[in-house]
Amino acid sequence: MKICCIGAGYVGGPTMAMIALKCPEIEVVVVDINEARILAWNSDKLPIYEPGLDEVVKACRGRNLFFSTDTTKHVGEADIVFVSVNTPTKTSGIGAGKAADLTYWEGAARMIASCSTSSKIIVEKSTVPVKTAEAIHKVLTRNCSDPNVHFEILSNPEFLAEGTAIADLTNPDRVLIGGQETETGQAAIAKLKWVYEHWIPSERVLTANLWSAELAKLTANAFLAQRISSINAISALCETTGADVQQVAHAIGTDSRIGPKFLNASVGFGGSCFQKDILNLCYVCESVGLKEVADYWFQVVSMNDYQKNRFVERVISSMFNTVKNKKVAIFGFAFKKDTSDTRETPAIDVCKGLIRDGGKCCVYDPEVTTDQILRDMSTPKFEWDRPNYSRSSTHFLENVQVAGSADEAIDGAHAICVLTEWDAFKTYDYAAMYLKMHKPAFVFDGRNILDHAKLREIGFIVYALGKPLDPFLQKQY
């Protein structure tokens, strides 16, 4: 058997590496039109950072795992083709700002059809709207010149969490496979199920119809994001009442009906999926006349935007209602720890908010490159999810500096904003940092990871998100 995956990104690369590791008899090829990305996958410095990924790739690369730009050759030879291309939010036309743009998916389908001389199973790995499989099947069948070639489409949504992707792939809660309720559809499901059952217990490989599988992915991300927005909403209330959001979260999280996960209040959620998938879900609901349902889910995104804006306003109001010409050290740019992914990271909106008030942001992140930070700060909303997006000219970049270390970032700064929960940030010598900063020196902990009592002993004015406000920060009327 030969498997080919179109798209060498955060989903395609790790997923195929794990399949190659666990199924040594299967040849696995990851293809992408981005030559630089494929070169990186074939090098010692992989294009993405994910704990444990290096070891998995190096264990099977060159044995039964390959990375190539020769898309037509490997797609043509494959028995199963995974499609893991970008599905960005549309920026213009009908559904702009909500609907998924399936341009890259359609392009992949046309390419598959054009080079297929044998029947294939096509697996949706990208997050796509409900009923995408139906549309893709039409593109495939109408563009394949060989009438004997049959395409069976499966939905196999990914449920990976970046930062723990390898652990999630090794021991997933479940694998979901959706297919047609026909004889050929069920045979295709069985074949893909056989691949996963090389290392995943059969009872964890769930099967469903195509539409249920497609909708399950959007719904899962909507529910997870909803929990984050819910606790973030409570964090605002905690600050005004003197409650502690971490104590509240712990109290409700011990309820077995609720559970403790995704109850960490923060500056906001990010990543490639949560916002995009909720907006997509809203658009699908609106398209079928379910406006009230769409409005309900849209509030999850609105609350996330409110939380980011609230954090910026807190920083500015605390620093005497202006950050003009003040250096602010930004600790962390990735949307979460243990990943280099910056897609929809709250740090972008926080930095832009501070810069609009005249602030100067000095960013330090242990894994995100300078070029990535500058590109993200200059890229219009939703454009980050398009292949080969590049840095554009913007006044924001005049006020963004990228530091090579935390010490460089805080030198001469008025404040520190913790925007990613990297473990290393907990270990710094903040007493030494305090001496290098302007006074009063502020720490705005958007992740609640630092020892706030110790920071106050050093002399910092501390804002801990969702916790009782420092008297210095309370407004006097």
Report, as residue numbers or ranges, the catalytic residues. Answer: 273
Place of tokens 């794990």: 18
In 362-405, which ranges are continuous DSSP H helix? 370-378
Q: Which residues of 265-274 are buried (b: 16+ CB within 10 A; e: fewer)?
A: bbbbbbbbbb
SS3 state of residue 63: coil
Which residue shows structure tokens 């001469």? 412
Q: What is the largest CA-CA distance in the chain?
A: 78
Which among 78, 134, 87, 88 has a CA at the least distance from the CA of 111?
Answer: 78
Angle at 367 between CA 162 and CA 272, to 5 degrees: 35
Distance of alpha carbon 191 from the chain centroid = 29
Contact yes or no for 103/95 (Cβ under 8 A): no
Q: Encode burial over 402-423: b for 16+ CB neighbours within 10 A, e otherwise.
A: bbeebeebbeebbbbbbbbbbe
CA distance 400 to 397: 5
Name which of 301, 313, 321, 291 is nearest 233 in CA terms.
301
Can you tell me whether residue 154 is helix, strand or coil?
strand
- Cβ-Cβ contacts under 8 Å for 435 (sequence gap 6 or more): none
Q: Nearest-CA neighbor of 362 among 421, 409, 322, 408?
A: 409
Angle CA(93)–CA(96)–CA(97) in degrees, nearest 5? Answer: 165
